[in-house]
Amino acid sequence: VVLVGNLIGEDHINYVLMYNMLTGIRIGVSRCQAKVKRPLTDEDFAARHKFSFDIVGNELTPSAKYDFKFKDYAPWVFRELREDYFHLDPADYLLSLTAKYILSELGSPGKSGSFFYFSRDYRFIIKTIHHSEHKFLLSILKDYHHHVKNNPHTLLSRFYGLHRVKLPRGRKIHFVIMNNLFPPHRDVHETFDLKGSTVGREYPEAKAATNPRAVLKDLNWINRGKMLELGPEKRALLTEQLRRDAEFLRKIYVMDYSLLIGIHKMERGNRDNVRRNTLKVFSPDIPMTRRATAVAKGGTSPEAIAMRRAMRESNLERLGHGRGALRLPEEDTGDRRDFLFYQDEGGLRATDEANDPLDKIYYLGVIDILTPYSTMKKLEHFWKGLSADRHKISPVEPGEYSDRFFSFMKAIMRGGGGGERFKAE
Ligand code: ATP
Ligand code: CA
Ligand code: CA
């Protein structure tokens, strides 16, 4: 799969921000990574590591192109999450996120105003988040860690890191790094974002006909009579995990999350190249500390290995394919095989009632899980409730949201377009 994108230059409005985010990650994450692993303490959940970058540089931080500050939140906690529960290879992680030719930007940000960037190998997403979401994630980090530890197959967003960049004039940008549910090596032919709410949850079908990248919603799913084709075995496993995850979301008192489902149709394969020409490629010169460069030359630490690979690859890229071209793997790299719901080509293969495989792969997970039921959301509940069924609108109290979400997901798995009974009267 070759992706062709536009190279983001220094004149791009988000160039400086991206440069700072990646420089911060490289220095911050590799600093923590270079230390010997130890068990977590309570203090680790409240820890913040600060870095100050400027164009001069110093002993600890290399000189950077711009002045900015970087904060790494609970680095040891995220390191444990990445390595012990999400089974990420430390060298791979650093390399993917900060090698040259890195980020692509989604066409337009979500309603919330968040920006999404994909790592160059399409495995990771950087999402800028609102300060309230940032504070919220920190406040539930312990519960999240606990849930992930006890649910190795959780469908919840995998958070790999939480960071902040502060620009000279004081603007603060918070962001998380998380898993891309969609695989690098397979086209996703249909995408659904399902909440279990049926008021206003429809992407115009007329527009969908000409846009293969449309993110469809609950009513599209119902009206198209879709179902998740899973045999009894996978259905039972998925239902149980969704039950536990929904229970957790109820407990931390959030709402507005959704089940994101990407469908790959095997008979169509990759020939449509759905992702082509949608990317913007970013290729910054991320600085390295003098020590890091020295380490990279001979060291055996994950940091050093990652950096050597990054240097090698960026050299290859300069020689090889043209500007802005990204080559993604054609085959499953196997990096998700530890996870029950991501082990068939990075996803979940559809099965029939005899548990035999069908020609479809689902890529699914629960996303956007950082919205607590705030005063704003209560007001939204009130206003939307005036003109529509109070129980079918998207903002409802987290207990009700969780029940409705789980019922909907159970219903769409039962087959025959089970979502029917959720249809607005
Ligand atoms: P809003 O609050 O308005 O829903 P948001 O900015 O919080 O928007 P999300 O709901 O997190 O954004 O995501 C928006 C879209 O981005 C999703 O519908 C999905 O298409 C894509 N997306 C988000 N997270 C992932 C992920 N982990 N993997 C793949 N795609 C994702
Ligand atoms: Ca959302
Ligand atoms: Ca959101």
The domain tally of the chain equals: 2
Residue 2, pLDDT above cutoff 80: no
Tokens of 57: 């540089």
The DSSP element (H or E) to which 117 belongs, if any, is: strand 116-118
Match 């075995």 to its residue by tokens. 233
- On whether residue 13 sits in a domain, the answer given is yes
Please give the distance, rounded to the nearest whole angstrom, from the Cα atom of residue 116 to the centre of ligand 1: 8
Question: What is the ipTM score, two decimals?
Answer: 0.99
- On whether residue 332 sits in a domain, the answer given is no
Which residue CA neighbors atom 24 of ligand 1 most closely? 367
Q: What is the pLDDT of residue 119?
A: 82
CA angle 273/276/280 to nearest 5° reads 155
Residues 71 and 128 both lie in one domain: yes
Beta strands in 140-256 (DSSP E): 159-166, 172-179, 190-194, 215-216
Beta strands in 225-356 (DSSP E): 258-265, 279-282, 325-327, 348-351
**pLDDT tens per residue, range 253-301:** 999 999 999 999 999 988 766 554 445 555 555 555 555 555 556 667 6
Is residue 195 within 8 Å of 256, Cβ to Cβ? yes
- Is 182 close to ligand 1, i.e. is its CB under 6 Å away? yes
Domain end residue (candidates: 292, 323, 354):
323
To the nearest whole number, what is the mean pLDDT of the chain? 84
- Is 111 close to ligand 1, i.e. is its CB under 6 Å away? yes
Please give the distance, rounded to the nearest whole angstrom, from the Cα atom of residue 36 to the centre of ligand 3: 36
- On whether residue 317 sits in a domain, the answer given is yes
Report the distance separating Cα 411 and Cα 423, nearest Å: 12
Starting from the CA of residue 126, give the closest ligand. Answer: 1
Exposed, middle or buried by CB within 10 Å (0-12, 13-18, 19+), for 175? buried
Quickly state the pLDDT bin for 138 (edges 50, 70, 90). Answer: very high
Residues 235 and 362 both lie in one domain: yes
Residues 166 and 311 both lie in one domain: yes
Report the distance separating Cα 258 and Cα 235, nearest Å: 18
Which residue CA neighbors atom 12 of ligand 1 most closely? 110
155 closest CA partner among 331, 353, 405: 405
Query: In Å, what is the CA distance from 312 to each residue of 88, 286, 288, 308, 309?
Result: 21, 14, 15, 6, 5
Question: What is the CATH number for 162?
Answer: 3.30.800.10
- On whether residue 278 sits in a domain, the answer given is no
- On whether residue 25 sits in a domain, the answer given is yes
Residue 46, pLDDT above cutoff 60: yes
* Domain interval for residue 165: 1-180+284-323
Q: What is the pLDDT of residue 316?
A: 45
Any residues with CB less than 8 A from the CB of 340 and at least 6 apart, and which? 153, 237, 241
Starting from the CA of residue 112, give the closest ligand. Answer: 1
Residues 299 and 381 both lie in one domain: no
Residues 300 and 262 both lie in one domain: no
Residues 29 and 54 both lie in one domain: yes
Chain centroid to CA 342: how far?
14
Residues 173 and 62 both lie in one domain: yes
**pLDDT tens per residue, range 188-244:** 999 999 999 999 999 999 999 998 889 999 999 999 999 999 999 999 999 999 999
- Is 114 close to ligand 1, i.e. is its CB under 6 Å away? yes
- Is 215 close to ligand 1, i.e. is its CB under 6 Å away? yes
- Is 260 close to ligand 1, i.e. is its CB under 6 Å away? yes
- Is 125 close to ligand 1, i.e. is its CB under 6 Å away? yes
- On whether residue 331 sits in a domain, the answer given is no
Q: What is the pLDDT of residue 265?
A: 95
Residues 134 and 205 both lie in one domain: no
Please give the distance, rounded to the nearest whole angstrom, from the Cα atom of residue 70 to the centre of ligand 3: 24
Which residue CA neighbors atom 20 of ligand 1 most closely? 215
Is residue 30 within 8 Å of 303, Cβ to Cβ? yes
- Is 281 close to ligand 1, i.e. is its CB under 6 Å away? no
| 62 or 342, greater pLDDT | 342
Residues 415 and 315 both lie in one domain: no
Residue type, 162: L
- Is 181 close to ligand 1, i.e. is its CB under 6 Å away? yes
- On whether residue 264 sits in a domain, the answer given is yes
Any residues with CB less than 8 A from the CB of 319 and at least 6 apart, and which? none
- Is 23 close to ligand 1, i.e. is its CB under 6 Å away? no
Residues 217 and 165 both lie in one domain: no
Question: What is the CATH number for 414?
Answer: 3.30.810.10
**pLDDT tens per residue, range 392-409:** 999 999 999 999 999 999
Any residues with CB less than 8 A from the CB of 67 and at least 6 apart, and which? 53, 54, 55, 168
Please give the distance, rounded to the nearest whole angstrom, from the Cα atom of residue 367 to the centre of ligand 1: 7
**pLDDT tens per residue, range 161-198:** 999 999 888 899 999 999 999 988 888 999 999 999 99
Which residue CA neighbors atom 18 of ligand 1 most closely? 193
Residues in the chain: 425
- On whether residue 411 sits in a domain, the answer given is yes
